[in-house]
Structure 1
Amino acid sequence: MNCIFCNNENEATSVEHIIPESFGNKKYLMTRSSVCDSCNAKFSKFERKALSNSVFVFERARLGIKSKKGKNVKGKVEDLEVEGNKEFKKQLITVKGLDSKSVENYDKENGTLQMIVSSFDKSEEAGAKLILKMGIEALYTSDFNLYNNLDINEARDYLLAKNTKDWPVIISDYEPSKFKSIPKMGVKYELGIKQIKLEYLQLNENVLLIRFTFGGVTMMVNILNRDTNWITEFKTNDSLTQIYPKHYRDKI
């Protein structure tokens, strides 16, 4: 069997988690030998960065997710260090590095505050690559007919670092039309328990969105190309839409 990314002959026997195990996914797996060891090694680098140096680390800690080694979550986003509860209790996290720039509306009487968290710590590329990789693997596994009719060579080249131009990724809750779950019912239910969704929406022949939701964070990319025209609708209908890398904001 050939690797679905590099197309080289593949005899790898390791289990490939379509959504990283560090999000809590135990059930959604690929057929063995679908992804080669070489590609897995490349992908693990950006996976680690997306998991530990973006807003995802706060959600993993908040939801009491265990690391692959069974330990509490730890990570850093800019100057903020975050750590999940050692007993994996939900809604209990430790954050170090808070200052006047990262805290608003502190209520001394009630002991509450609002924390300002950057979405990425120079990890926008890792976030985009992670969602592209999950999208490709999920479609291959759960909707092969759709996968087989898509031209995703540009995304493959980006994942394999053959083309390093930035790939736009957005954070938004806006839904222009109903997204469809890529995982089927049984797996979809299991992922839902972990507050995970992986969905797609085809807007036109040039735009097929992959949307990944984990806890309170929803990110999406266009799996077909780097086109940004589709983002305008999101920005118009959801003022909280965030676009990364930031240089794309000047083009929209």
Structure 2
Amino acid sequence: MTTQTLTISGLNKQFDTPTGRTIALSNIQLQLQQGEFITIIGPSGCGKSTLLKIIAGLDTAYSGTVLLSGKPIDGPSIEKGVIFQEPRLFPWLTVEKNIAANYNLKDPAVRYKVNELIELVRLKDFAKAYPRELSGGMAQRVAIARALLRNPDVLLLDEPFGALDAFTRSHMQEVLLDIWEKNRTTMLFVTHDIDEAVFLAQRVVIMNARPGHIRNIVQNDLPFPRKKAGHSFQELRRIVLSEFEKVEEPAGVDGAGI
């Protein structure tokens, strides 16, 4: 029997701006099952990043209920891993030390787990390398491994592959799915890319513009591994695109970064 990892009920978020009050999120209702992979798509300014910040505990000024494993989220914690568009690695630390971060790499248990994650993210030959010696995709793999070392209940990914070239982005999608299938960490992944959303997710959440709210949730039962050129994939992509095209652009205050 599956259990709910994340439960969001009646979530509302607003900002005060020089021109008045902006409603960023309105009545968000969403439940993630343990081990589920969900993607969120929507136009800029619809509140995708704001939603992730709230789940991460980085923003607690909202109304409604946000529960992780049945407990209210009241701040950052190791139960929530966060991956941003930029890897945010420590330039003076090697790959293995970046993954370990504030853990003691001399501890046999930590060393074993770090080595295991280095294998998982396919960086065995770069354990001693520094961030300046890594490609963008490799650096993001280090960031993912660092988050997984904390064994989070949910991994939040805010357009982590947005700055990568198309080839590297496709490769990183495969790597992330490999990690998910082996670890079954609950994942919530924000993206602007419809192909990426359909390729990764078990459910695709489509958000409408400000006030940001969930317009529709499309179930994705395509088996893994998925082929983007396949008929079933393209048919589901057409359904998601059709829903996305109904989304209205945000009006009024510029919502970049919301």
What interval of TM-score do these two structures reach, taking the shorter chain for normalisation? under 0.3
TM-score (norm 1): 0.27
Instruction: Provide the TM-score with structure 2 as the length reference.
Output: 0.27
Comparing both chains, which one has the higher relative contact order based on Cα–Cα distances under 8 Å and sequence gaps of 6 or more? 2
More strand by share: 2
